[in-house]
Amino acid sequence: MGEGRRPHRVRWDGGVRSLEAGREHSGGPLVVMVPGLGALGYLLDALSGCAGWARSFLLDVPGFGHRPPRPCPAEVGSIAGAVAAWLEVVAEGEPVVLVGHSTGAQVALQVAARRAERVQALVLMGPTFPPEQRRVLGVLRGCAGALRHETPRLLPATVPYYVRGGCRQLARLLSSAWQDAPERTIASVGCPVLLVRGEHDGFAPQRWVDRLTTAAPDGWSVTVPGAHNFPFRRGGLAGALVAQAARRADLIG
């Protein structure tokens, strides 16, 4: 079931488009969300859920939510660089809870490693890809395990972004995600790290999440109902999970 959405506004900072909500909570931590494969639509309720207790942003990176020019190439490392630069412009010394879903989790992890002074808590939702999925056959197996548990209502929330991005840029983003090694990066992240997977998530199997949790200096994991795209239309759940990480970092009471 969908949840009510809080009003948001569109911002442009340093060439990056974002959706902002929860401005009435200025003075506390900022929640900054990075979507998977550049699709913002499926995380709008998650943005609203976080905006219930924090000033929150959903970043349009690599820019599939608007026409070119885009803020960065469609690659994990380049997107991480754009997000890190955006934090320097917008965060202004405020503590940040950085949230990434799917390939956005890989981006968020790189940002947390690069900008330890900015990111005070990290939430990785459905982190991709375990080593066995860094090839086409492995990804297809993950798809088979995940898609049968997803709802068709995801299509209008994601496909328009994929069409706008184009097959070539999507392939470029996936290729860079396959070449990434989150299991190495997470060991250098000192802030609290919450890893969340849906119980039917074929892209983030339990053994992969367990491996990342063990590698994190301060990591813990939670399994929730649903599949890979569990935050879709579940803003209350998403907001509560992100708040849990903020409490672990002593950012909220």
CATH at 133: 3.40.50.1820
Residue 175 lies in a domain: yes
Residue 242 lies in a domain: yes
Residue 1 lies in a domain: no
By C-alpha distance, which of 181, 79, 198, 199 is closest to 129?
181
User: What is each CA distance from 80 to 49, 111, 131, in whole angstroms?
Assistant: 24, 5, 21
All residue ranges of the chain with pLDDT < 70 are: 1-4, 144-145
Residue 2 lies in a domain: no
By C-alpha distance, which of 238, 245, 241, 244 is closest to 42?
238
Tell me how many domains the chain contains: 1
Q: Which residues contact 241 (CB under 8 A, 6 or more apart)?
A: 123, 125, 194, 196, 222, 224
Residue 3 lies in a domain: no
Residue 4 lies in a domain: no
**What are φ and ψ of residue 231, in 5° steps?**
-70, -15
Element (H, E) at 121: strand 119-125
Residue 19 lies in a domain: yes
Can you tell me the distance from the alpha carbon of 168 to that of 181, in angstroms, rounded to the nearest whole number? 22
pLDDT on residue 143:
74
Q: What is the DSSP string of 67-98?
A: PSS-SS-SSHHHHHHHHHHHHHHHTTT--EEE
Per-residue pLDDT tens over the stretch 127-176: 999 999 988 777 777 776 677 789 999 999 999 999 999 999 999 999 99
Residue 253 lies in a domain: no
By residue range, what is the domain housing residue 127? Answer: 9-248
